[in-house]
Amino acid sequence: MTAAGMTAAGMTAAQPPGAPHDEQACARAWAALTAAHALVTEQMSAALTRTCGLSINEFQILLRVDRAPGPGVRLGELCSAVRLTQPSLSRAVARLERHGWLRRAGAPGDGRGVMITLTAAGREVLAQGSAVHTQTISGLLLDRLTPDEQDVLARALTRVAEGGPGPPPGPSATGPSPTVQEHSWPTQPHSA
């Protein structure tokens, strides 16, 4: 490979989105992604369980209910946001309700729908979990990256998660994505 094909960090220059990649590049990207995910997930899981008795999925559920626009969220909407099957989500919501952290009620105007809301106790445990989340993500991920790398990572992973096409060519591809802001989580839960 020529020097022109290498970046200052010694890695191959970025290919445009949609360009074919070789097997080695795919394997390297996959190995890095899964190793980083495993490390963060393992540490986050242990810290959440130790500090506030929550699993990662339970933390996600509380966070999504708290961030939902309006008074509560429908169980079906929560299912797609948390990425659990409907039976798994229903069991997790029932556990959180038994702890007094969530409340389930019938959806207005829909005899079969279920609305999920966060209780005051749920906000307290979410505040504890949010502090653990911030500390873990900062220590394992963000503190190891420059601000520019953090922005690139957030934009790239948001684009991958949304399943959208690559960025358009030109200067606008380097600006922050509005979607990144939508997925940003403040360290403190919303207040009632």
- pLDDT tens, residue by residue, 84-121: 888 999 999 999 999 999 998 887 777 777 889 999 99
Residues contacting 95, CB < 8 A, separation 6+: 58
- Identify the three-state secondary structure at position 133: helix
Q: Which two tokens stand for residue 143?
A: 């503190």
Average per-residue pLDDT for the chain: 80
Ramachandran angles phi, psi of 114, nearest 5°: -125, 130
Confidence of residue 21 (pLDDT cuts 50, 70, 90): confident
Please give the Cα distance from 82 to 102 (Å, whole number). 15
More confident of the two residues 9 and 106: 106
N-term to C-term CA, the chain: 58
pLDDT, residue 80, reads 79
E strand intervals along 102-178: 102-107, 110-118
Domains by residue range for the chain, with CATH = 52-155 (1.10.10.10)
Which sign does the torsion angle of CA 159, 160, 164, 167 carry?
positive
Q: Which two tokens stand for residue 91?
A: 């069991």
pLDDT, residue 79, reads 83
- pLDDT tens, residue by residue, 36-84: 999 999 999 999 999 999 999 999 999 999 998 877 888 888 887 888 8
Instruction: Give how far Cα 172 sits from Cα of 74, 150, 156, 168, Å.
Output: 36, 18, 14, 7
Contact 63, 134 (CB under 8 A): no
Residues contacting 83, CB < 8 A, separation 6+: none
- pLDDT tens, residue by residue, 124-138: 999 999 999 999 999
**From edge to edge, which strands make up the β-sheet containing 102-107?**
73-74, 110-118, 102-107
- Identify the three-state secondary structure at position 113: strand
- pLDDT tens, residue by residue, 136-155: 999 999 999 999 999 999 99
Contact 101, 125 (CB under 8 A): yes
E strand intervals along the chain: 73-74, 102-107, 110-118
